[in-house]
């Protein structure tokens, strides 16, 4: 084998080894990122479930009957009588 052919062979073998190491590195990085993606998907599912529970809780706490009951029982509020109601005409000139 001539000297240039040997250098070419050594150079090509070096490139093949570098390529093999690159494949191993990329495979490892892919596995790490896939594991992280799965963790993020699980976290997303947990947050979606929590969001659903919070929406149900919000609707329960803000129901008109509950608000009225709390106003009447805890705050001692009641509907005003007809003599206590004042109507404002905002279209009228002062």
Kindly report the three-state secondary structure assignment for every residue of 27-66. Answer: HHHHHHHHHHHHHHHHHHHHHHHHHHHHHHHHHHHCCHHH
pLDDT of residue 42: 98
**Cα 77 to Cα 60, 68, 74, distances in angstroms:** 21, 9, 8
Higher pLDDT, 39 or 83: 39
pTM above 0.85, yes or no: no
Secondary structure (3-state) at 94: coil
* Residue 94 pLDDT grade (very low, low, confident, very high; cuts 50, 70, 90): low
Share of the chain above pLDDT 70, in %: 99
Report residue 45's pLDDT band, with 50, 70 and 90 as the boundaries.
very high
Q: Torsions phi, psi of 2, nearest 5?
A: -80, 165
Domain boundaries, the chain: 27-75
């Amino acid at each position: 084998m001539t000297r240039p052919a040997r250098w070419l062979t050594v150079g090509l073998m070096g490139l093949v080894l570098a390529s093999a190491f690159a494949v191993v590195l990329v495979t490892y990085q892919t596995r790490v990122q896939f594991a992280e993606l799965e963790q993020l998907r699980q976290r997303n599912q947990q947050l979606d479930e929590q969001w659903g529970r919070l929406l149900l809780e919000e609707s329960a706490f803000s129901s008109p009957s509950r608000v009225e009951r709390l106003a009447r029982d805890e705050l001692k509020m009641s509907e005003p009588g007809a003599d206590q109601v004042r109507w404002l005409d905002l279209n009228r000139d002062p």
